[in-house]
Amino acid sequence: MAIGLSGFAGLLSVLLPCFLCVVGQTEYQIGTGIFDITGPAAEVNLMGYANPAQTANGIHMRQYSRAFVFADKAGENRFVFVSTDSCMLSQEIKLEVVKQLKALYPGLYTERNVGISGIHTHSGPGGFHQYLLYDITSWGFVKASADALVVGIVESIKQAHESVRPANVYLSVGELLDSNINRSPSAYLNNPKEERERYKYDVDKNMTVLRIEDGQGRPLGMINWFAVHCTSMNNTNGLISSDNKGYASQLFERYMIARGDLSIPGRYVAAFAQSNLGDVSPNTKGPHCIDSGLPCDILTSTCHGKNELCIASGPGKDMFDSTKIIGRNQFTKALELFSSTYPNMKLSGPVGFRHSYVDMTNVEVQLNTTTKVKTCKPAMGYSFAAGTTDGPGAFDFKQGSNSSNPFWNFVRDLIKSPTPEQISCHKPKPILLDTGEITKPYLWQPQIVDVQLFTVGQLAIILPPAEFTTMSGRRTRDAVTHTLISNGWYPDTVSVIAGLSNDYADYVTTYEEYQIQRYEGASTIYGPHTLQAYIQVFKTLAEAVAKNKTVVPGPNPPNLLSKQLSFLPPVLYDTAPLGKNFGDVKVDASPSYAPGSVVEVTFISANPRNDLRTNDTFLTVEQKEADGSWTVIFTDADWETRYYWKMTSLVFGESDAIIQWEIPEAQSFGTYRVQHFGSSKSITGTIKRFTGKSREFLVKKSKYIH
């Protein structure tokens, strides 16, 4: 399904603006914005796999916040949808973003109409949560990670606010195959047969695309939702990366900017947003035993009883190749659906939003006319520690476990023994961590969560603070769509899940999947009726939208920023080896290269934590022009480059930067150089910038270099 950028020339004709639209007649006002959110590129643990050994050591692709302001024609009703290249959001980040927006735009943006969704890359810096469990493997709270997110999200929203203009929105939905599989098929099979028979696949293959054009029919932006984990980059990776969705965004934005005729010259914002990805993996070769190549045990995802040996991979030869393939697949399908000749629906109708804070530990769920149940205080099950086939855990934990272990119960009880009420509430989950009953040094997991619904015409965007499994998402979408339509909303309403929004409250499985206690069920923290509680809340929001009623705001969540603990040591100092300077070249480029080969240059460097170089770069690849000037063609944000940082002497604070450039096959022939930019810290704490550059080298036509 992957095709090169050069192969899209033939698609230009189908990407021309919609000639059936009447220029000047618009339905909405829309603005777009994009800003860097890349955190510390060294020594900070990456968020997602909960692997303490997975520490940042450079940059594969920078991470960005992409913001979209949707308003009605009068500009009176509006909301902001933000997609971030982060693992997820945290309550503390959302609260701080809203605080700054309220100061910038009094009365315009609040927690009610600002929604922020993470793409769920597992290769971004951690330490930005306010709840303890999620920061443990990051050595606590990392202010630099949190600040980068807040600054970037706010700046992207500012850009979107300032660029609002009359616009139209077109909706398309289509199937993308060969890009996702179910990583917990045994749990999915526990859903009712008649329900499963309604669907062709055990994961959602549908991609939903919004094409946004200004009043003159010029491209302004694009959002799409497709359910797949950003775990193409595995838990051995140390480079900051926006994974497959970040690469898809990069391809789409490059393509549209190169095409030109944009609403905002030189800028285009394409968000490949996340959906109901809970049990969905991009590793399409599926899980296998890494020692034998044989299939893993389907119920426990083990090989010879060990979960560490059962790992899913593919479709590429390594994690970089797999990221490229899955990202390009999403880009290609999005471009097809974006086409103005593809069957689409022009959205029309009001812009709306509803939001509530909900205490998820105490929701009364009406199962039927005679039965009511309640949700539970948070707790993590045994299978949580087993990890997934995308990133296995350790020790003797296994997925699909409904039984406990005396040794691990003893270890658990040293922290907090679960009460009989908790054990009964979470049954059949065997509790490994009773997080909901631990309050020291502060809360371990959220109790009050952020639940939100946006509507723009016929589209309903559901924003839950968790990872919904495939069937959980389907049930939620169906419930919201039915509630809207039955209360007088548009009969052609389409609902999408925008997962991991505003906060992080782990996973949500169906009641039936919960009984199997795979990783996702063990991580459904409010008990077996979690999904139904969310559906109940979203139906209330949907009814309020359709009937134009207000909703109960709910109890405010805590702000725990002042309580955060951090054990990550600061950068003490940097030094260059005796007789050398920062930026000096240790290993230079070769005199010439062929397209398809890799340029590698090593510089004497300093710790990148000294300066994140936000909206900037640690490297450039530059081409020499005929007049002797240099033009930057790639930075550390681009797929084609990699920036590695390596500590060479902890005692003396010496380090290297290794910069690689994979020369594209279509790269023009000429003279090039690589530059490195960094900042060193003296023993007195002074930060000083430096620059280094490689020799000039040639990129030749022939692959046979003499």
The set of catalytic residues is: 281
Q: Which residues, 6+ apart, have CB-to-CB distance to 228 below 8 Å? A: 179, 180, 244, 245, 277, 280, 281, 282, 326, 330
Locate tokens 């899955």: which residue?
A: 326
Torsion-angle region of 34 (φ positive above 0: left; ψ -120 to 50: alpha; else: beta): beta
Query: In angstroms, rounded to a whole number, what is the distance separating the alpha carbons of residues 490 and 389?
Result: 41
CA angle 186, 528, 197 (to 5 degrees): 40
Q: In this structure, what DSSP letter does residue 86 have?
A: S
Q: Which helix (H) or strand (E) holds 27?
A: none
For 490, the token pair is: 């548009």
**Backbone phi, psi, residue 309, to 5°:** -90, -10
Locate tokens 């782990």: which residue?
A: 506
Best CA proximity match to 327, nearest among 369, 374, 272: 272
Best CA proximity match to 384, nearest among 424, 421, 434: 434
What's the maximum distance between 2 C-alpha atoms anywhere in the chain? 83
Query: In angstroms, rounded to a whole number, what is the distance separating the alpha carbons of residues 700 and 237?
Result: 32
Cα dihedral 194→198→200→204 (10° resolution): -110
Q: In this structure, what DSSP letter does residue 442 have?
A: S
Catalogue the long-range contacts made by 258-262 (C-beta closer than 8 Å, 24 or more residues apart).
259/12, 259/15, 259/219, 261/218, 261/219, 262/218, 262/219, 262/220
Task: Tell whether the torsion through CA atoms of 30, 548, 494 and 273 is positive or negative.
Answer: positive
Which SS3 state, helix, strand or coil, does residue 383 take? Answer: helix
Q: Give the Cβ contact number of residue 6 at 10 Å.
A: 8
Q: What share of the chain is helix, strand, coil (3-state, %, to 5)?
A: 25, 30, 45
Partners of 405 in the β-ladder: none
- 343 with 478: CB under 8 angstroms? no
Q: In this structure, what DSSP letter does residue 267 have?
A: B
Query: In angstroms, rounded to a whole number, what is the distance separating the alpha carbons of residues 195 and 471?
Result: 9
Partners of 59 in the β-ladder: 240, 643
- 82 with 454: CB under 8 angstroms? no
Which SS3 state, helix, strand or coil, does residue 665 take? Answer: coil
How far is the CA of 359 from the CAs of 356, 364, 447, 510, 607, in angstroms?
10, 11, 6, 20, 42
Query: In angstroms, rounded to a whole number, what is the distance separating the alpha carbons of residues 235 and 55?
Result: 10
For 622, the token pair is: 């530059």
CA-only gyration radius of the chain, Å:
25
- 84 with 153: CB under 8 angstroms? yes
- 178 with 2: CB under 8 angstroms? no
For 248, the token pair is: 């898809």
